[in-house]
Amino acid sequence: MSSGSDSEDSDEEILAVTTVSRSRKRSESQRPRVKQMSRTTFEYTLRLIFKDLSKKPLENRQGRPTIDAEKQLLLALWVLSTPNSYRLESSLFLIFNFRSVCDRFNVGRATAIRTVRRVVKALTKLKSRFISWPNHQEALHTAAELERASGFPGVIGIIDGTHIKIPAPKENSAAYINRKNVHSIQLQVVCNQKRKFTHCYVGQPGSMHDQRVLRVSPLRHILNSEEYFPENSHLIGDAAYSLYPHLLTPFKDNGHLSRQQLNYNKCLSSARMTIERAIGLLKCRFRSLLDKLYMTRTDFIPYTILACCILHNICIDLK
């Protein structure tokens, strides 16, 4: 990624979570905070994946008994939402932080790793249920809400990309180095007015430009189809993207924009703050994504990130 107009930095995304509107100034103590997952939300999530986490006991099983589903989900949530739950012992081996995870849940490292993978795989099976494109009524409702908030009409979603930092992969390491000279994996998301993700695409290496990620993602075909955009609606994105029939981007400010063009850019920027807040909220909820996701299996990292996006939507659905 070489363009200065690419996706906003993680610091700016996190700042967006706590940005207070000028018209509604609040004191520091009143700024919105990320709350812990409630017992109701936890139990709801547990019911969704309980069958995938439960195994029928085998007779004469050797070793320790299988840990129950509730403990498995608690452990996985702890790992995803706590920074530095993983750590690197050396450049070649990845292990769990024994004190913060294994001691806390009284399990071995191998059990903890398998538990996280089992929970993540169970959650990703729910993608089509919790991450879905808006229907006709939902799209019009989103457009009305965003127009009321920003003055920009016809917006049914905002697109943006963000980088999830990872350790240097063993294979094709250079391909994962982004414009900030760190290794990362790309996450492309679309959100609605409630900061809920309606489309997620993750897995491309960090060196790939946002526009290239869009071209290889399934979203490209959606942008060229009328059926997904009722009443000539559209998505909006930043200057890293090119224009599509249903994707609007800002005018390039060359110092000679008209008043109407400047107003267009201002309203588009105001509407785009929603996606910045959504990504910031995702990383605040799951702080393993905020600093660095200490995993070496690049084939499994996208599933982990997607699981966090699904949990993010579940939290929004249940308020």
pLDDT one-digit tens code per residue, 218-273: 999 999 889 999 999 999 999 999 999 899 999 998 889 999 999 999 999 999 99
pTM score: 0.85
Over residues 104-110, the mean pLDDT reads 85
Query: Does the pLDDT at position 22 exceed 70?
Result: no
Whole-angstrom Cα distance, residue 212 to residue 232? 25
Please provide the average confidence, as pLDDT, over all residues in the chain. Answer: 85
Alpha helix stretches (DSSP H) within the chain: 10-17, 39-53, 69-81, 104-105, 109-124, 127-130, 136-150, 210-216, 219-223, 259-285, 301-317
State the distance between the two ends of the chain, measured CA to CA, in whole angstroms: 36
Query: Does the pLDDT at position 304 exceed 50?
Result: yes
Exposure of 311 in the CB half-sphere (CA atoms within 13 A): 31
pLDDT band at 158 (very low <50, low <70, confident <90, very high): very high
Contact 162, 200 (CB under 8 A): no
What's the pLDDT tens digit per position in 273-297?
Answer: 999 999 999 999 999 999 888 887 8
* Better-predicted residue by pLDDT, 18 or 129: 129
Contact 159, 219 (CB under 8 A): yes
pLDDT band at 18 (very low <50, low <70, confident <90, very high): very low
Query: Does the pLDDT at position 91 exceed 50?
Result: no
Q: What is the pLDDT of residue 64?
A: 65
Q: What is the pLDDT of residue 63?
A: 60
pLDDT band at 43 (very low <50, low <70, confident <90, very high): very high
Six-digit token string for 127: 């993608």
Report DSSP state, residue 101. Answer: I
Whole-angstrom Cα distance, residue 146 to residue 182? 35
pLDDT band at 85 (very low <50, low <70, confident <90, very high): low
Q: What is the pLDDT of residue 20?
A: 37
Query: Does the pLDDT at position 88 exceed 50?
Result: no
pLDDT band at 24 (very low <50, low <70, confident <90, very high): very low
pLDDT band at 56 (very low <50, low <70, confident <90, very high): low
